Amino acid sequence: MDLVIRNASLPDGRRSIDIAIEGGRIAAVGPALPVQGAQEIDAAGDLVTPPFVDAHFHMDATLSYGLPRVNASGTLLEGIALWGELKPQLTQDALVERALQYCDWAVARGLLAIRSHVDICDPRLLAVEALLDVKRQVAPYLDLQLVAFPQDGILRSPGAFDNLKRAIAMGVDVVGGIPHFERTMADGAESVRLLCEFACERGLMVDMHCDESDDPLSRHIETLAFHSQRLGMQGRVTGSHLTSMHSMDNYYVSKLLPLIREAGVAAIANPLINITLQARHDTYPKRRGMTRVPEMLAAGIPVAFGHDCVMDPWYSLGSGDMLEVAHMGLHVAQMTGQQAMHECFLAVTETPARILGLDGYGIAPGCHADLLILDCGSTVEALRLRAARRLVLRRGKIVSESPRAGARLQLPGRPETVNFRLAR
């Protein structure tokens, strides 16, 4: 074997497990494997997990914070206007450089697969060319999947549908949309129909920004589920954000959840962004704005958490840390039970891997040897500590290392060090 990781704890709760790796893939998983590795790593009971996956991001805008100015109101709509001011000033070199820098951060955080939306409303398709270039450059260490995203509306923005078709022809993977930003509810519904039919014809996946609004009557998710069902696209369609569901009438939601489930539509909440952008028009009480995550999970709908934004016109913080994202999702959704917290970990690992259709993801023989060793003993402890990524492996090779967390104390009669872990 090229490499054997000894004494790992796994996300499913198994302990004292060895993982044997050969040729960049996992060859065997089990207790006390009777094999020798050219290299051996003692995980010492630490959690070994497949990498983090971000199902919703905007890599064309990332790390542009303050260009050309900051978002004063903090709203989604000022963010979109600000992005509109920045677009004419973008250069391909600057886009590529910022995206590559973000991918460095992502790798250091154990985030090895990202679905990024890319704005196609600029007819030059500068950002599309830049991110396709980035996708090729990072491919050895990070899977970048691109969504053709009509930020200004596929019907509202002149030429947007043609631009979207060109972007797909250039190699963009997924069809995006933004029905709540079209001029009318009717145009929003029409945009969903057009985009789903286009994706169905081409055999592509769909991931729309859908109902990113506090308006309880923004019901484009119903239309998205309808067309997914009608066109037989189960398992290939995702609704991102779905924040209006937070504010919807409960009776209506009791009808809507089974429709989404039947249509095989997945959901992506973006906790950091939803909790900061939504309900900006509220006084008190102030809504949280994130979609109904535990209710969707209970209805059998796959739900992932996305990062959405890092230092861009919509959000001034972030560093590519999906544990921070899941930690916020857990709090906003009040998912505090043991199983619920574990599900928050799955929402930044296994679930988005399925939504993206990643091949060879997981800890089982035959899977890619893409693995993290985290400075913690369980998925819940990973969330509590936002655990350090001791080692990040891609195809069985170490691509990033971080020290364990801890501090040296100088207190009379107390231990010399702390690491914030409870020995049990």
| Active site residues per annotation | 212
Q: Which is nearer to Zn ion, 46 or 308 (CB)?
A: 308
Q: Which is nearer to Zn ion, 60 or 143 (CB)?
A: 60
Please report how close the Cβ of residue 309 comes to Zn ion at its closest, in angstroms: 7
Nearest approach in angstroms of CB 166 to Zn ion is 21
CB 157, min distance to Zn ion, A: 16
DSSP code per residue over 184-252: SHHHHHHHHHHHHHHHHHHT-EEEEEE--SS-TT--HHHHHHHHHHHTT-TTSEEEEE-THHHHS-HHH
Contact 292, 269 (CB under 8 A): no
Q: Which is nearer to Zn ion, 308 or 312 (CB)?
A: 308
Give the residue at shortest CB distance from Zn ion. 308
If the CB atoms of residues 52 and 57 are measured against Zn ion, the closer one turns out to be 57
Binding mask 299-338 for Zn ion (x = CB under 5 A): ---------x------------------------------
Residue keyed to tokens 């996305």: 306
Q: Which is nearer to Zn ion, 112 or 178 (CB)?
A: 178
Tokens of 137: 């450059």
> What's the closest the beta carbon of residue 246 comes to Zn ion, in angstroms?
16
Buried b / exposed e along 191-203 (16+ C-beta atoms within 10 A): bbbbbbebbbeee
In the bound complex, what is the minimum distance in angstroms from residue 273's beta carbon to Zn ion? 7
The alpha helices in 357-414, defined as continuous H runs, are 379-385
Question: How many residues interact with Zn ion (rule CB under 5 A)?
Answer: 1
**Least distance (Å) from Zn ion to the CB of residue 232?**
27
Strand order in the sheet with 52-57: 52-57, 111-119, 143-149, 174-175, 205-210, 237-241, 265-269, 303-305
CA distances for 85 relative to 18, 200, 313, angstroms: 53, 34, 10
Kindly state the greatest CA–CA separation across the chain: 72
Of 100, 181, 132, 203, which is closest to residue 148 (Cα–Cα)?
132
Nearest residue (CB) to Zn ion, 18 versus 60: 60
Return the HEC string of 322-354: HHHHHHHHHHHCCCCCHHHHHHHHHCCCHHHHH
Residues at the site binding Zn ion, with contacts judged by CB under 5 A: 308
